[in-house]
Homo-oligomer: A and B are copies of this chain.
């Protein structure tokens, strides 16, 4: 063993944190929220209509993105405007898109693949 287990906690801790971060991106609605914030801050009300989801559902997902420091909310009067904290996030999404493109499949195939991967339609 190069490193005794007692000293491996750092690498493992980093892995835990990284995975927490990716978890923030591991939900369709959260991806759509981030995409909706590409061009700057958007109000919750606006988001709710654009994404066509329940208000409480949106608020919950926003809370997750907040707790992972991905978005930040600015309160103005009764409204709250959300924006992305670090635009490097978009690069992350773009690199991800690149990985998809490398796989040379289109969205239709992606969906079919999705269903295979998850053992059939839910």
Contact = CB atoms under 8 A, between A and B. Distances in A.
A92 B95 contact: yes
Which of A16, A22, A118 gathers most chain B CB within 10 Å?
Answer: A22
Contact of A107 (B13, B67, B99): B13
Interface residues of A, number: 51
Contacts of A114: 16-17, 20
Contacts of A102: 86, 88
Given A13-B111, A92-B96, A92-B99, 16 more contacts: A8-B52, A13-B110, A15-B31, A16-B114, A17-B100, A17-B107, A18-B100, A20-B117, A21-B96, A22-B31, A22-B96, A67-B116, A69-B113, A86-B99, A91-B95, A92-B95
